[in-house]
A and B are shown apart, each in its own frame.
Chain A
Amino acid sequence: MVEIKRYSPVAFKVSPKRVEVRDNWTVVLEYDGEGQGANYLVDLSHITRFDVQSSNLDAIKPFGVTIPQGLCESNLQDGLLINRMNGIQASIFCLSGKKPEMPSESSYTETTEVGMCMAIFGKNVFSITEKLTSLDFMDPAKKTPFLYQGPMSHIPCQIITLSRDGEKCGIIFTASRGYGKDMTHAIMDAGAEFGVKPAGEDKFKSWLGSL
Chain B
Amino acid sequence: MSLTITCPICGKRNGYEFRFGGEDKGPRPDEDSLTPQRWCEYVHLNECVAGVQKEWWVHKDGCGSWFTIHRDTVMNVEVAKPEADR
Contacts and interface: CB of A to CB of B under 8 A. Distances in A.
Interface stretch (A149-157, A179-187, A193-201): A149-157
Interface residues of B, number: 14
Interface string B12-42: 0110010000000000000000000000000
Contact of B17 (A71, A72, A86, A151): A151
Contacts of B17: 150-151
A160 interface: no
A111 B64 CA distance: 17
Given A134-B1, A134-B14, A150 B62 contact: yes
Chain B at the A interface: SS class? loop
B63 A86 contact: yes
Given A85-B63, A86-B65, A156-B60, A150 B1 contact: no
Nearest to B10: A149
Contacts of B63: 85-86, 149
B84 to A, nearest CB: 29
A150 B9 contact: no
B47 interface: no
Given A134-B1, A156-B60, A150 B65 contact: no
A145 to B, nearest CB: 16
B58 to A, nearest CB: 12
Nearest to A87: B9
Interface of A: 71-72, 85-86, 134, 148-151, 156
Which 5 A/B pairs are nearest by Cβ-Cβ distance?
Answer: A151-B61, A149-B63, A149-B62, A156-B61, A150-B62
Interface of B: 1, 9-11, 13-14, 17, 59-65
30 contacts: A71-B9, A71-B10, A72-B9, A72-B10, A72-B11, A85-B9, A85-B63, A86-B9, A86-B63, A86-B65, A134-B1, A134-B14, A148-B10, A149-B9, A149-B10, A149-B59, A149-B62, A149-B63, A149-B64, A150-B10, A150-B13, A150-B17, A150-B61, A150-B62, A151-B17, A151-B61, A151-B62, A156-B60, A156-B61, A156-B62
